[in-house]
Structure 1
């Protein structure tokens, strides 16, 4: 599924952008993030004589022409960024004519592609019923197809307990944690804050991406209906009127602003998208507006 939505044009766009990360990482293997050690990157530091095993692409041919010896440029070393994806796989994500789970998978796949293409490390974690499953811990641009294959086989049939799940993931290094969910959790903002506290304590740059179905944003229901909670099977009968729908829309807007204000306390970012959007619009539009991408 996720494989078919990425055409050649979209991949060419993804190659030109980069995940924005405001951290100087001091550990990890060679990658695309600047550290204080010397190695190879875009910031020139010095020259040294070529040694067996060095990347021949680093040879300075102008220096060879002058000295008849091979020299390579030494740069400020770059370390890989670590991107932890937390994907909500609860039953509520399996909803909408344009299904929320499909959009969530596309987002994780697209951002994983960008990270891997930038020589960063990707950890994909599935959140389900208070538990966590580590789907992939991977690096290298060639790993993307393996991620796609695994994402296509995910089932969305659990319940939501984001904090309980996230706190079960040991995090050892600075990095970026991206939580993809509808954030429709009965436990509310107080519980979500516990997850944010944990991620902030683990020195994570926090990004929350909310995925909602168009039917949840602009409901077109009316009259007597029965609402059924997809995770608990609880139901409630309600009479929908235009005024009640307006009140619902105001409440949803207020809830989204509350999440945004909450994550700002921990220097994080919140982006809300709907599942009927094109993936290019989400990645190259909404995420760029919030400077998740540059």
Structure 2
């Protein structure tokens, strides 16, 4: 994929956006985004290791003399967000025209760019069956190429037990957890939500569906194949079956939305046929995920 996933003009437009931490974390949470407040902002808080793209003026050269490593000073009102992006890599995500997997990777890259551009800490997590493959923790706009390379050639196969996979994640503190999936998964989402809440994660579900799933154009006798298990089933697609399908899909999306709301999260339905520009500059701004 590389940095070429986005045209330079598109990146310039993205640079004007940011993750809306104030909305996502809610009032009184202490905030994840660094504040512009005066006064206490000069009070020293902590160090972290230097990452390519960081402001060299923040390097503590005395620490470098002692440890021969570069460290950056952090201040009380300049705490960084920790953003985790979880990408469902099940085979069902590779379905559709356009494929849900392509949209998922593009969304992961776009959100990663926003986080890095705003100096937040970032980790990309690929959910594979009941396991997880994670990138290093990245920080600074200059590390977007590393992020893009990590997302290169992601394979989509098998089923994902999202509950088991994400519970392998060890969170170091409060942060934002953004999940990209079609949610045709195994495991208890309720238990997963409780786990994320226990570790003080603010939750965003980006629910990707293909046009064929949103409005299937099937009629008469058809043989359907489960893309993950390979199971075959013969179905007679009648108008009443289509109506039941649409009701089931509507109830499925409503249950996901209600679950995220219950735990203070944000839910967005996305069609893989939509343009990335529409999703970022319309849908995600409308839901105040980004601003």
Same fold (TM over 0.5): yes
Q: 2:39 aligns with which of 37, 42, 45?
A: 45
* Contact 1:175–1:203 (8 Å) recurs in 2: yes
Cα gap change, 1:194/1:149 in structure 2, threshold over 3 Å: closer, same or farther? Answer: same
| Paired residue secondary structure (1:276) | coil
Partner of 1:283: 280
Matches within 5 A, 1:106-145: 106-145=106-145
| Paired residue secondary structure (2:273) | coil
Cα distance in structure 2, aligned partners of 1:237 and 1:186: 23
| Structure 1 residue ranges, 4+ long, deviating more than 3 angstroms after superposition | 1-5, 53-56
* Contact 1:125–1:136 (8 Å) recurs in 2: no
| Paired residue secondary structure (1:113) | helix
* Contact 2:119–2:141 (8 Å) recurs in 1: yes
Indicate whether 1:259 and 2:251 are aligned.
no
Cα distance in structure 2, aligned partners of 1:106 and 1:115: 14
Q: 1:24 aligns with which of 30, 41, 45?
A: 30
| Paired residue secondary structure (1:247) | helix
Cα distance in structure 2, aligned partners of 1:121 and 1:234: 42
Cα distance in structure 2, aligned partners of 1:238 and 1:155: 30
Cα distance in structure 2, aligned partners of 1:144 and 1:232: 35
Indicate whether 1:236 and 2:233 are aligned.
yes
Partner of 2:290: 293
Q: 1:218 aligns with which of 207, 215, 220?
A: 215
Task: Please identify the structure whose Cα radius of gyration is greater.
Answer: 1
| Paired residue secondary structure (1:272) | strand
| Paired residue secondary structure (1:168) | coil
Paired residues, number: 257
Partner of 1:95: 95
Partner of 1:250: 247
Cα gap change, 1:276/1:54 in structure 2, threshold over 3 Å: closer, same or farther? Answer: closer
Cα distance in structure 2, aligned partners of 1:264 and 1:275: 23
Partner of 2:105: 105
Q: Which residues of structure 2 form unaligned runs of 5+?
A: 43-54, 59-74
Cα distance in structure 2, aligned partners of 1:84 and 1:168: 13
Cα distance in structure 1, aligned partners of 2:252 and 2:82: 30
Cα gap change, 1:176/1:186 in structure 2, threshold over 3 Å: closer, same or farther? Answer: closer
Q: 1:277, CA displacement in angstroms?
A: 0.5
Partner of 2:34: 33
Residue-by-residue CA offset, 1:30-49 (whole Å, 9 max, x unaligned): xx523xxxxxxx3222899x
When the two chains are superposed, the root-mean-square deviation of aligned CA atoms in Å is 2.2
Partner of 2:194: 197
Residue-by-residue CA offset, 1:67-107 (whole Å, 9 max, x unaligned): xxxxxxxx863111110111100000001110000000000
* Contact 1:210–1:270 (8 Å) recurs in 2: yes
| Paired residue secondary structure (1:33) | coil
Cα distance in structure 1, aligned partners of 2:238 and 2:186: 24
Residue-by-residue CA offset, 1:245-265 (whole Å, 9 max, x unaligned): 122112101110111001111
* Contact 1:100–1:211 (8 Å) recurs in 2: yes
Q: 1:242, CA displacement in angstroms?
A: 2.3
Cα distance in structure 2, aligned partners of 1:46 and 1:194: 39
Cα distance in structure 1, aligned partners of 2:255 and 2:2: 31
* Contact 2:206–2:269 (8 Å) recurs in 1: yes
| Paired residue secondary structure (2:269) | strand
* Contact 1:25–1:174 (8 Å) recurs in 2: no
